[in-house]
Amino acid sequence: MAANFLIHPPGPRKQRVFRLHTNIDGFDKSTVSRTVKRVIEALVARADTFIKWPDATSKSSIKTGFYRIAGFPNVIGCIDGTHVRIQAPSHDENSFVNRKGFHSFNVQAVCDHEGKLTNINASWPGSVHDSHIFRTSQIRTYLEEEENGLFENGVLLGDSGYACRPFLLTPYANPQNEPEEKYNQAHARTRSEIERTFGRLKRRFHVLHSEIRMKPDRACRIIIACAVLHNIAINLGEPEDEAEVEEDQPQMPAFQGPQDGRGVRDYVKQHYFS
């Protein structure tokens, strides 16, 4: 349950920015290129070490962290896609053209409450929709089969581009009452963590914000390498604050209703936002 980068493969904060400085004076350009490639390959090889799906202990902390944002229960991650621009490839060019008309990878990622990436898939061309990437992903299979799709085991929050599932909750498209409005507000505030994470990732590594001028397979690996460095930056730059008191989730009866996305969503609305 970590980084996917092959086709069809799941108070103020102190920031430490990682940059790769290359001074080519006195060095052959090909030497610099080989060195950069080796660094990227070394980072990709360690992706499973630094981009990890949370274990039981981590899930408890993540749920508490997300709950403190807006009172949304049992959240273990927020999911979304972001487009990373690439130069037009020579092979299968049309599939990389996204709905905005430029060439890209559609990168799916899940983050925790600290903005750390717990899953990433950087293998899909820009024309592919977020919902399809999730539907065919290992993370969806894992949540549905290994976690049994149960609300108590934790849920992801996604926008309305995804289908509402027991393990992936989306907003109400047309809220009809105050509890549904409150649900949507809490959902949006909590889910915004993934949008902030993408913003921080692209500010930290400008190549993800501008354009990767390499072939798709190399571009894919650069995205993963940047994601690894992003998590390392958070690990090194987030000191623990022992004085901070966390707000625990309130206890509530176990969900006994039908295990479908709308049923779970209504259950959360009724118990937390009514």
What confidence score (pLDDT) does residue 260 get?
64
Estimate the crossing angle of helix 261-272 against helix 178-204, to 10 degrees: 110
Q: For residue range 90-147, list pLDDT tens digits in order.
A: 889 999 999 999 999 999 999 999 999 999 999 999 999 999 999 999 999 999 988 8
C-alpha distances out from residue 188 to 11, 100, 140, 180, 184, Å:
21, 24, 21, 12, 6
What confidence score (pLDDT) does residue 22 get?
43
The β-bridge partners of 119 are 110
What confidence score (pLDDT) does residue 25 get?
60
Nearest Cα to Cα of residue 155 among 175, 183, 196, 121: 183
The β-bridge partners of 86 are 212
Structure tokens at 68: 């403190």
Amino acid letter, 55:
D
What confidence score (pLDDT) does residue 24 get?
52
What confidence score (pLDDT) does residue 8 get?
33
Contact (CB, 8 A) for 119 and 81: no
Per-residue pLDDT of the chain (274 residues; tens, 9 = 90+): 555 443 333 334 444 444 444 455 666 777 777 888 899 999 999 999 999 999 999 999 999 999 999 999 999 999 999 999 999 998 899 999 999 999 999 999 999 999 999 999 999 999 999 999 999 999 999 999 888 877 788 999 999 999 999 999 999 999 999 999 999 999 999 999 999 999 999 999 999 989 999 999 999 999 999 999 999 999 997 433 343 333 344 444 444 555 567 777 777 777 677 6
What confidence score (pLDDT) does residue 269 get?
73
Collect all residues with Cβ–Cβ distance below 8 Å to 230 and sequence separation of at least 6: 116, 117, 200, 201, 204, 205
Name the helix (H) or strand (E) containing 107.
strand 104-111
